[in-house]
Structure 1
């Protein structure tokens, strides 16, 4: 059911209020009545109004003073005001009314049809605002439910996956039969890929739900890069990933999120680059910004490159993808949260290059913030 829309009428003459109320009568409209400025302010503290119709000439607090008080309060500063006055038309008074924040200034006697048409505009605007607020609340509830579902799903999946991976590792390391050991290796690889998928789904839910906030602090990108490279070298062996640095690579940023940038880009290069080819990670801090470049052999198909950062895409065609294709999307989101960006280029001769550009100081996007509160962290 739709909520009634409130219109405030303020006039020191009760008969004027009665006449206005009768003129504005309609099922979806609730008229609030006040015979003085202080009484009107008391009503404004209790109700949200779509429009205020104020008489100018009132004893004590006149309409202009009431309007100025309304404009000075965050709660009522947005309320549209229409002034009504029985005095002769005066350009200076009209100007003062608009200066006080009025959207219109009418002189008595007025045509009730004109007033009603003006009121209808503000009623429609208020109704649209209510609908948008309802839609926003519904969307937020869906986002919260989606994140809760993903968190529960992730937790419930990790437990059996851990048992599968541990059993597969036992088969691969301790069973003498080579065929069984190979099966164990494949099971472990598939299990690890499922773990990464779960993590990416959780990250996507948190990013889209606005649950990730920056915690900027001084970060040495070279240290982050080496830590991620060490983790991957424990899986794929040494000698494939090379890290090069130029200039000052210290910036203000969220170290945990930026570590994920390195992890996603290097993991993408290992997964989609030519088998056994070298991967080069270059850090350049010679400019006002810092850039991270990850290059590997292998070309991204021309029809895939334009949508490479879209969610649920990857560096291969859809029927060739071995994952959810969320890593690059999350990488771009993290870069843009810092006020930076990421670009990709790929040719048969130079291979595939992803370049992330980050400012020395984070510049969160509109609607985002960087704070010191404990946020939901990306897994």
Structure 2
């Protein structure tokens, strides 16, 4: 990352804390470190230094080792014990001889460096400048992260509002397309009406995915309203709908055990629909799609959708990422949100979803507690 001086122009000055019990030492160090963009704060004792640390965000602390009441090592240990000052770099300044035991104690208490008196002015400035620059970079990155997070939040809010507002005119278009066959028997008009309705329904599904994405991102999850339901009834309806729209494909439903529970039936149907649709769209067109429902466990049920096909090893860890499918396959029948939303819905039911891609077979397995409110 290349940092230019202009990058820091709008940032407030950095603060450097100098702690020494001798006034002349404070004056000398202040003279060496005084420059534009740096605020110097001085303290004559460890207690006074702690008071300043409660008020100022400090980029660097130069601390004299030998002070009465509280020496530099004790001050450093107190700083390391507090969340606010734990990350403040400390450079010890000492007039003592180079003692390995003192060095070890200093670094153990949190020092990043030692300076020995008499101090070399160029060395002090160079070391301090390094920490000032690091602190500025840290603040710059934090500011950019905050700005980008806010931009992303506003973008997702806009997408949610846009998706919601688009549904009203889209409903009119779909309703008009459904009304045309009652008004005419012209084959050409009927074909146009069928295409209009199919395109409108596809757009409606994509808008629904956009709204669910916004709910998952902005609200921390997609809300569910659990009621007594039968998993087989829910999934059987989904399978029949896909069988009607994909008449050339075979979808087999296999069910075993007790499949009763308390879930949001519409959201469970959405999970099943996303998994079956994904298998039909990306699986082997010559092989059937198998849907398994397993209710033999007392506390949980499983929904598994399996199809022939493969997932590349470098793609497998990211199959539930939003927009992933759309990026891989270019133009697609959706936004690449199906598996992402299926995972969000499973998690909203306190469930899990996982993928198993072994050999030439892909299985997506959803495990749900019998009651959505129970982990």
What's the CA shift string for 1:151-182, capped at 9, x where partnerless? 1110110111112222322334x335263455
Q: How does 1:175-190 map to 2 (within 5 A)?
A: 175=183, 177=185, 179=187, 180-190=189-199
1:6·1:32 contact (CA, 8 Å) conserved in 2? yes
Contact 1:215–1:254 under 8 Å retained in 2: no
Deviation per CA, 1:40-62: give whole Å up to 9, x if none. Answer: 11211111111111112222222
Which residue of 1 is the match for residue 103 of structure 2? 94
CA RMSD after TM alignment: 4.6
Distance, in Å, in 2 between the alignment partners of 1:196 and 1:126 is 47
Q: Cα gap change, 1:72/1:309 in structure 2, threshold over 3 Å: closer, same or farther?
A: closer
Q: How far 1:354 sits from its partner (Å)?
A: 3.8
The superposition leaves residues 318-343 of structure 1 with CA deviations (integer Å, 9 ceiling, x where unpaired) of: 45x33333324544677899775425
Compute the displacement of 1:212 (Å).
3.4
3-state SS of the aligned residue for 2:61?
strand
Counting only pairs closer than 5 Å after superposition, residues 181-200 of structure 1 correspond to structure 2 as 181-200=190-209
Given that 1:218 and 1:250 are in contact with CA atoms closer than 8 Å, whether structure 2 keeps it comes out as no
Aligned partner of 1:313 in structure 2 is 325
| Deviation of 1:136 (Å) | 0.6
Check whether the contact 1:308–1:315 (CA below 8 A) recurs between aligned residues: no
List runs of 5+ in structure 2 lacking aligned partners.
1-9
Q: State the number of aligned residues.
A: 352
Q: Is 1:335–1:356's contact at 8 Å kept on the other side of the alignment?
A: no
Write the distance in 2 (CA, Å) between the matches of 1:290 and 1:103.
56
Alignment partner, residue 7 of structure 1: 16
**1:121 CA displacement:** 2.4
For 2:15, what is the secondary structure of its paired residue?
strand
Aligned residue runs from structure 1 range 116-265, under 5 A:
116-172=125-181, 174-175=182-183, 177=185, 179=187, 180-205=189-214, 209=217, 211-213=219-221, 223-224=230-231, 226-231=233-238, 233=240, 241-245=251-255, 260-265=270-275
**Residues 10, 54 of structure 1: 8 Å contact kept:** yes
Shift of 1:244: 2.6
1:202 Cα deviation from its structure 2 partner: 3.4
- SS of the aligned residue for 1:83 comes to strand
Deviations along 1:99-122, one digit per CA (max 9) or x if unpaired, are 221122333222222222322222
Gaps of 5+ in 1: 361-370, 373-379
| Structure 2 partner of 1:281 | 291
Task: Give 3-state SS (helix, strand or coil) of 1:313's partner.
Answer: helix
User: Aligned pair 1:34/2:43, yes or no?
Assistant: yes
CA 1:230–1:254: 2 relative to 1, 3 Å: closer
TM-score (norm 1): 0.73
Cα 1:31–1:195 change in 2 (3 A) is same
| 2:338 corresponds to | 327
Structure 2 distance, partners of 1:292, 1:29, is 62
8 Å Cα contact 2:355/2:362 also seen in 1 = no
**Per-residue Cα deviation, 1:241-268 (whole angstroms, up to 9, x for no partner):** 54335689999x9998766432211233
Superposed, 1:71-86 pairs within 5 Å as: 71-86=80-95
C-alpha displacement at 1:129, in angstroms? 0.7
**Whole-Å Cα distance in 2 between the matches of residues 142 and 182 of structure 1?**
43
For 1:377, the equivalent position in structure 2 comes to none
Question: TM-score scaled to structure 2, two decimals?
Answer: 0.74
